[in-house]
Amino acid sequence: MTKVNKLVMHGFKSFAKRTELIFEKDFNVVLGPNGSGKSNLIDGLCFVLGKSSTKTLRAEKSANLIYNGGKTKKPAKNAEVSIFFDNTSRIFPT
């Protein structure tokens, strides 16, 4: 079975720095306090899988998907979201 191994985000929404999330084999949980980026992580996953509606990604416009720096930090110039799959079963053509 093909599965997601890893999600990498940089400059996407609240993820200013390169953030790498490793998915375990059977079960994964995203926990954290309010405002820690849990929903933005799911938005990143949806974005990289092809959801392009800014409304669905909880943004007024596409530019709002790029880290804005908040009140004290420098905004990102671009954003990147990458997904890595385990395709040892060869379900995806190579």
pTM: 0.88
- Give the model confidence (pLDDT) of 29-87 as tens digits: 999 999 999 999 999 999 999 998 999 999 999 999 999 999 999 999 999 999 999 99
Quote the number of domains for the chain: 1
Q: What does residue 21 show for φ and ψ, rounded to 5 degrees?
A: -115, 120
Residue 94 lies in a domain: no
pLDDT of 94: 78
The residue segments making up the domain with residue 44 are 3-86
| Parallel/antiparallel/unpaired status of strands 3-10 and 19-22 | antiparallel
Cα separation of the two ends of the chain? 15
Q: Is 41 exposed, middle or buried (0-12, 13-18, 19+ CB in 10 A)?
A: buried
Residue 40 lies in a domain: yes
Structure confidence at residue 19 as a pLDDT band (50, 70, 90): very high
Residue 93 lies in a domain: no
Residue 32 lies in a domain: yes
Residue 92 lies in a domain: no
pLDDT of 61: 95
| 23 token code pair | 């998915």
Residue 63 lies in a domain: yes
If we measure between CA atoms, which residue out of 32, 16, 8, 33 comes closest to residue 72? 16
